[in-house]
Amino acid sequence: MDVIAEIVKNLLVIIIISSFLELLLPDGSIKPFVRFAIGLFILIAVLSPVLAFVYDDKNFQVSVWDVKADKQITERIQESGQKIQQQITDSNSGLIKEKLEGQISAVAILVPGVGDVNAQVSVGENGSLRKLRLIVITEKDDEMEKMEEVNSVSGNHQSDAEQKEIKRKILQVMGNLYGLKSENIEIKFEGG
């Protein structure tokens, strides 16, 4: 039953593919030659499994032309390839993360008004930056403190506006440099 199923499947695929490719052929005197070659493959598709089934002990030349990639072997190779890739990614992702956090902190600290930054990143499988969490400690020099004292009557509005401005700038810088969307960047303000 398996032999018949294999023959039918092979024949179907060969005939569909070859008749489609034949449509693309130019109408010329070469066409019969191509048809002949296709016919040979159809013969092989029928002969090879039948001969292998009937004559178990013999090794026919025709089977050389019916080489198929073993699905199990292919899957095993793919699986081990994926495992190796995962191992490489895992061993490197810690290093990538550390470097990226350092880079991002160094860049974010350049934004005016930022005193210190603590960056936490989450990295994708291929080492790409997925999410970014920034803990920003705002910088307050004497002049700003004085200004705050003056504006103390109007509550916390000034510092809110400042934080908004800092947030906007950081989002812009991170978006431009790392291609991150604003929803993937979380910014928290601490102290100051």
Q: Which of residues 65-84 bind other proteins (CB under 8 A)?
A: 65-69, 71
Does 58 interact with other proteins (rule: CB under 8 A)? yes
| Nearest C-alpha neighbor of 123 from the set 115, 114, 132, 136 | 132
Does 10 interact with other proteins (rule: CB under 8 A)? yes
Dist. CA 186–CA 171, nearest whole Å: 9
Query: For other proteins, which stretch binds (CB under 8 A), given 41-49, 80-88, 141-149, 167-175?
Result: 41-49
How near is the Cβ of 2 to other proteins at its closest, in Å?
A: 13
Backbone φ and ψ of 128, nearest 5°: -85, 150
Instruction: Give the helix ranges, DSSP H, for the chain.
Output: 2-24, 31-54, 71-108, 142-150, 157-178
Nearest CB to other proteins, comparing residues 13 and 77:
13
Specify the pairing of strand 129-138 against strand 185-190. parallel
Can you list the pairs that 25-32 forms with residues at least 24 positions away whose Cβ atoms lie under 8 Å? none
How near is the Cβ of 21 to other proteins at its closest, in Å?
A: 6
Residue 167: which residues within 8 A CB-CB, separation 6 or more? 187
| Of 1, 28, 112, 157, the one binding other proteins by CB under 8 A | 28
- Count residues near other proteins (CB under 8 A): 39
Q: Which residues of this protein are in contact with other proteins, per CB under 8 A? A: 9-10, 13-14, 17-18, 20-21, 24-26, 28-31, 33-34, 36-38, 40-41, 43-45, 47, 51, 55, 58, 60-62, 64-69, 71
